[in-house]
Amino acid sequence: MQKFTKLFLRRMIFTLVTLCAICFSAAAQTTAVSGVVSAKEDNTPLPGVTVTIKNTQQGVATDANGKFSLNAPTGAILVFNLVGYEPTEVPVNGPVVNVSLSARQNSLNEVVVIGYGTVKKKDLTGAVANIKGSDIKSQGVSDVTKSLQGKLPGVTIEAAGGNPGSGTRILIRGVGSLNNATPLYLVDGVPVANINNLSQNDIQSIDILKDASAAAIYGSRAANGVVLVTTKSGKSGQTVIQANANYGLQKIAHRVDVLNAEQWATVSNQAHDAAGLARLDIAKNPESLGAGTNWQDAIYRSAPIQQYDLLLSGGNQSTNYSVSGSFLDQDGIVKVTGYNRYNLRARSETSKGPFKFGETIILTREKTISMPGGWGGQGGDPVGSAAKMIPVFGIYDPTAQGGFAGATGPVVNVANPLAQLNLEDINRVSSSILTNAYGQLTVLPGLTYKLNFGYTANFGTGTDYYKRYVVGTLFSHPTNDLSISKDQTDLLLVENTLNYTKLIGKHSIQALAGYTYQKNDYTYLLSARTDLPDGLENIDAGAGTSTTGGNSIQSTLLSALGRIIYAYDDRYLLTASIRRDGSSRFGANNKYGNFPSLAIGWNASNEKFYGSSLKDILSTFKLRASYGVLGNQEIGDYQYSAAVASNINYVTGTTQQKWFGAIQTSFADPNIKWESTKTVNAGFDAGFFHDKLFVTADYFIKTTDDVLLNVPIPGSAGSTSNPVVNAGSLRNKGVEFGVNYTDQIGKLKYSVFGTLSAVKNKVLQLGTGTQQIFGGQPTHHGASSTLTEAGGPITGFYLIKDLGIFQSQAEIDAYKGKNGNVIQPNAHPGDIKFSDTNGDGQITAEDKVYMGSPFPNFEYGFGFNASYKNFDINAFFQGTHGNKIYNGLRQDLESMSLEFNYSTPTLKAWTPQNTNTTVPRAVINDPNFNDQTSSRFLESGSYMRLKTLQIGYTLDGNMKRKLNVHSLRIYVSGDNVFTITKYTGFNPDLGRTGSIFDRGVDFGHVAYPLARTFSVGLQLGL
């Protein structure tokens, strides 16, 4: 209660001074002014706020109900101050002045969104990371989540493919599941599959619930964390019109170095000679070939990206609204690819008496033009094909159907990538609606009932128009074919919640009880036909055979939930929650799961013993700890029942007709049940020097049991797929730090911030105990590179070890096993020596050893914002350290045993004249398997990237008045400006989707390189 004593003293002084002032300024006219001061975020009254008249010492403090009254001269300005809130000045316009104070950034009075409600940071016991929309500075990206990389401790954001529109993957506190590690996303309370299609400028804040206590209220879907996105809403009394425009250019950041025609022919001849085979005809005369075709130049371009949006918001005491529209158009750096998106959003809230109604409606339309995945053969998608295509071949051939030339002769069938891009049109148009509507009734003071509806619908149409062509001698497609698929995904959510808030003396209680229902529907239809005439793209035009297909999936979730948040005197905090979920994904015995959690916290800085001297340094300090159980059910539907698959047809009869076939083709486990994750979390939040420096830290242990996974069963059991079973146990342990320092030196305002997360994972148990899951096949034909087994990390790299190059036949002959036999009898000088780890005298899969993990030892982000007069600058770096990447594309390009293009290091292939090299000899049939999956292609994936650099200029008062605008800022921005890494592939931030067991493997067939963007933009407020 030193606060109160201090204030009382201040009050006394102010009154005395005021009296003196009155004596000395008899000429000033004063009126009685009163009002209520409340918190902007949740309208709770704020006691203890000092209200002073500017430039005087006169003032009062607000009482327990936030009320104040004093006498002030007309035209005076009142200054409102409270620790933890932004100082606010308001002119005296009348006898009543009501003021809302906004919480200071990162202070404990900030309001944080948690499930089904909000709570002040000081009352929060869980681990929640929060970011404001205004902190998401980078503009040259199409997807808001890309700008979050490295900004939130414990949250890893990776690209999910580099192609435009591909979105991101968010991982919270490591990988907690082997099946599906995506968190639960909610936009204004409505579950969505991902947030890739939101416009950045629509976002008010993103709150990420990381530990069990925060997320348990979402129970069954929260095991991987919860991402809560709140879109902007209007503020009473302020009508805002904001327009933003941004235009940028993207260029490929890093290519792979491959040979030109003359160099390739030289290496190819070397390889054929070494194997004693005839040289290829096309390589016969290297000098005459010159540089040939640069295939990578042919497919990449400088691509523009532009975004425009407009936001209108405003409101009064009873209603507020926010309406926005945006347009984004992004061309891909690979020719032909691109993405565009239209968004329209409306949000409003109306209160009258005990009622409050509100809704959010977001309409989105997206179109994605993708590159084909491959035309068969061994090249893969155009990015992979461009690296592998032999530079001797030309791009165009006007005499060929389709107009493109291609590979001829006895070479690997890699397709002309430009032909792939131009002769097959693949696009997807997707329209979505997200609606949220709620009605809230204040039944009794402190008791509110809320009925919340959410509905999302996504309508997608995928089109694949495959033109007729002859490309070289290896690729031929005689008819134009068209395939169209339509899918619809609906979600309906109905939630009833009852919320009770009460303050009894020093005890504050917030209780919640609820009952929810969620239903998902998915339907899919496909229609395709062959042999269309040129230029027509409709199914009816096709003269050939038709193909149709369709299926549907339904799932439901029923839940009951409850939570209590209790605080004693703002010092001792307790949160307890429980949720019971029933899911249609499991069989009759295991439909339900219970997910409880408990958390405690202590606001040490509010204690009596906390001296003021300590407060000057450590102004706020809170300790928290929590424990909880969360569930995961992200497997396919109907996995618990074995199905009979149909249309496994054969042929029969003298007239050779189709013979319909159907049979059970795979196994199922009827007893699969919920995956459950137990998390223990301990952390603290500390503010130093009056909250100038803010530090948050957490330590957690997350254990997942009954991991649902397709456990590989032997092929000899005869199933076409691996059944989903509960078969494992994982543990993730880690620490997270977040630091933020804000200060001002004269006119220079700056803030510096950083995050650091380190997570270690371990597989405690897997399948049958000795179960091993192999994954990460790096090339079309290579052996797997990763292994997951009990006692080791998830998807660690297990590789045969490369020990260098045999320099002479004597070395080869000396490399013997225990039985005296030469271990690598097929080796010649210049071949790679492999480690016979198990000592059995042969190099086999049994010689694999653990060589590193695709997960980093730690990830970090740091940056600063600074502003001086009208200029501002912000920069943000992000990186990882300690992760390894297996470079599959390099395994192909450095192989020299296959007939396609090779990478530049092969110019230094071992020869008796050039022995000081790490690249083995060129030999076309590779009897020693130099190019097998081994540690030769495992590289360090650590990187540090300057993710965003932005410099802006805000117009000052004079200019603003001239242009009649409220605010105007222009800026230039760079994204992915530079990357410091040792990795030689396209991008160490791999973006590989699909199985967790393929993580960390750069599979050349599905790559899309990283783009560097420079853009200019303006932000206008009217």
Query: What is the smallest separation between the CB atom of 931 and another protein, expressed in angstroms?
Result: 9
Token pair, residue 534, equals 């040129």
Q: Between residue 258 and residue 297, which ones bind another protein under the rule CB under 8 A?
A: 278
Cα torsion 888, 891, 892, 893: sign: positive
For residue 227, what are the contacts with CB-CB under 8 A and spacing of at least 6? 170, 172, 183, 184, 185, 186, 195, 206, 207, 208, 209
Among 57, 71, 204, 556, binds another protein (CB under 8 A): 556
Answer yes or no whether residue 820 interacts with another protein by CB under 8 A: no
Given the structure tokens 């202070």, which residue do they identify?
Answer: 107
Answer yes or no whether residue 664 interacts with another protein by CB under 8 A: yes
Answer yes or no whether residue 661 interacts with another protein by CB under 8 A: yes
State how far the alpha carbon of 707 is from the alpha carbons of 186, 676, 679, 856, 966, in Å. Answer: 24, 8, 15, 23, 55
Answer yes or no whether residue 155 interacts with another protein by CB under 8 A: no
Answer yes or no whether residue 658 interacts with another protein by CB under 8 A: yes
Which segment (103-111, 218-226, 248-256, 653-661) binds another protein by CB under 8 A? Answer: 653-661
- Report the alpha-carbon distance of residue 750 to residue 744 in Å, rounded: 6
- Nearest of 477, 534, 591, 628 to residue 127 by alpha carbon: 628
For residue 981, what are the contacts with CB-CB under 8 A and spacing of at least 6? 940, 941, 942, 943, 944, 945, 988
- Report the alpha-carbon distance of residue 464 to residue 669 in Å, rounded: 37
Q: Between residue 446 and residue 475, which ones bind another protein under the rule CB under 8 A?
A: 449, 451, 470, 473-475
In three-state secondary structure terms, 821 is coil
Query: What is the smallest separation between the CB atom of 581 and another protein, expressed in angstroms?
Result: 10
For residue 767, what are the contacts with CB-CB under 8 A and spacing of at least 6? 711, 725, 727, 728, 773
Which segment (231-239, 699-707, 714-722, 990-998) binds another protein by CB under 8 A? Answer: 714-722
Phi-psi category of residue 673: left, alpha or beta, with phi > 0 → left and psi -120 to 50 → alpha: beta
- Report the alpha-carbon distance of residue 85 to residue 889 in Å, rounded: 54
Contact 205, 230 (CB under 8 A): yes
Q: Between residue 570 and residue 589, which ones bind another protein under the rule CB under 8 A?
A: 582-584, 588
Nearer to another protein (CB atom), residue 910 or residue 997: 997
Q: Between residue 192 and residue 251, which ones bind another protein under the rule CB under 8 A?
A: none
Among 478, 804, 839, 912, binds another protein (CB under 8 A): 478
Answer yes or no whether residue 2 interacts with another protein by CB under 8 A: no
Cα torsion 814, 818, 821, 822: sign: negative
Which segment (60-68, 103-111, 131-139, 638-646) binds another protein by CB under 8 A? Answer: 638-646
Q: Between residue 831 and residue 890, which ones bind another protein under the rule CB under 8 A?
A: 844-845
Contact 185, 634 (CB under 8 A): no
Answer yes or no whether residue 818 interacts with another protein by CB under 8 A: no
Contact 167, 194 (CB under 8 A): yes
Among 612, 651, 913, 957, binds another protein (CB under 8 A): 651
- Nearest of 642, 711, 704 to residue 674 by alpha carbon: 704
Answer yes or no whether residue 819 interacts with another protein by CB under 8 A: no
Query: What is the smallest separation between the CB atom of 728 and another protein, expressed in angstroms?
Result: 14
Contact 753, 862 (CB under 8 A): yes
Answer yes or no whether residue 359 interacts with another protein by CB under 8 A: no
Which segment (118-126, 636-644, 700-708, 969-977) binds another protein by CB under 8 A? Answer: 636-644
Nearer to another protein (CB atom), residue 87 or residue 718: 718
- Report the alpha-carbon distance of residue 503 to residue 500 in Å, rounded: 10
Among 826, 837, 870, 914, binds another protein (CB under 8 A): 826
Answer yes or no whether residue 409 interacts with another protein by CB under 8 A: yes
- Report the alpha-carbon distance of residue 173 to residue 155 in Å, rounded: 6
Task: Identify the burial level of 61 via C-beta atoms within 10 angstroms of its C-beta, where 0-12 means exposed, 13-18 middle and 19 or more buried.
Answer: buried
Q: Between residue 891 and residue 950, which ones bind another protein under the rule CB under 8 A?
A: 897-899, 924-927, 929, 932
Given the structure tokens 């409600």, which residue do they identify?
Answer: 117
Nearer to another protein (CB atom), residue 609 or residue 650: 650
Which segment (161-169, 182-190, 555-563, 872-880) binds another protein by CB under 8 A? Answer: 555-563
Query: What is the smallest separation between the CB atom of 902 and another protein, expressed in angstroms?
Result: 15
Binding mask 731-770 for another protein (x = CB under 8 A): -------------------------------------x-x
Among 712, 792, 841, 905, binds another protein (CB under 8 A): 712
Answer yes or no whether residue 399 interacts with another protein by CB under 8 A: no
Question: Measured at the alpha carbon of residue 612, what is the angle toward residues 608 and 616, in degrees to the nearest 5?
Answer: 130
Nearer to another protein (CB atom), residue 12 or residue 536: 536
Among 284, 502, 781, 966, binds another protein (CB under 8 A): 781
Among 660, 689, 850, 978, binds another protein (CB under 8 A): 660
In three-state secondary structure terms, 822 is strand
- Report the alpha-carbon distance of residue 768 to residue 713 in Å, rounded: 10
Beta strand spans in 569-591 (E): 572-583
Query: What is the smallest separation between the CB atom of 772 and another protein, expressed in angstroms?
Result: 6
Among 63, 607, 637, 705, binds another protein (CB under 8 A): 637
Q: Between residue 529 and residue 548, which ones bind another protein under the rule CB under 8 A?
A: 530-531, 544-545, 547-548
Query: What is the smallest separation between the CB atom of 875 and another protein, expressed in angstroms?
Result: 47
In three-state secondary structure terms, 161 is coil
Nearer to another protein (CB atom), residue 746 or residue 791: 791
Among 662, 748, 814, 849, binds another protein (CB under 8 A): 662
Among 19, 443, 617, 810, binds another protein (CB under 8 A): 443
Query: What is the smallest separation between the CB atom of 659 and another protein, expressed in angstroms?
Result: 5
State how far the alpha carbon of 676 is from the alpha carbons of 128, 222, 225, in Å. Answer: 20, 10, 13
Nearer to another protein (CB atom), residue 10 or residue 477: 477
Answer yes or no whether residue 441 interacts with another protein by CB under 8 A: yes
Q: Between residue 503 and residue 532, which ones bind another protein under the rule CB under 8 A?
A: 515, 517, 530-531
Q: Between residue 784 and residue 813, which ones bind another protein under the rule CB under 8 A?
A: 784
- Report the alpha-carbon distance of residue 69 to residue 299 in Å, rounded: 72
Size of the site for another protein (CB under 8 A): 106
Nearer to another protein (CB atom), residue 657 or residue 914: 657
Question: For residue 307, how many C-alpha atoms fall within 13 Å in the half-sphere facing its CB?
Answer: 27
Answer yes or no whether residue 657 interacts with another protein by CB under 8 A: yes
Which segment (156-164, 304-312, 439-447, 501-509) binds another protein by CB under 8 A? Answer: 439-447
Nearer to another protein (CB atom), residue 420 or residue 897: 897
Query: What is the smallest separation between the CB atom of 520 and another protein, expressed in angstroms?
Result: 10
Task: Identify the burial level of 285 via C-beta atoms within 10 angstroms of its C-beta, where 0-12 means exposed, 13-18 middle and 19 or more buried.
Answer: exposed
What is the DSSP code (8-state) at residue 616? H
Answer yes or no whether residue 554 interacts with another protein by CB under 8 A: yes
3-state secondary structure 882-931: CCEEEEHHHHHHCCCCCCCCCEHHHHHCCECCECCCCCCCCCCCCCCCCC
Which segment (243-251, 357-365, 502-510, 716-724) binds another protein by CB under 8 A? Answer: 716-724
Among 291, 643, 810, 963, binds another protein (CB under 8 A): 643
What is the DSSP code (8-state) at residue 816? B
Among 107, 177, 199, 378, binds another protein (CB under 8 A): 378
- Report the alpha-carbon distance of residue 791 to residue 785 in Å, rounded: 18
Which residues partner with 52 through β-bridges?
59, 79
Q: Between residue 79 and residue 118, which ones bind another protein under the rule CB under 8 A?
A: none
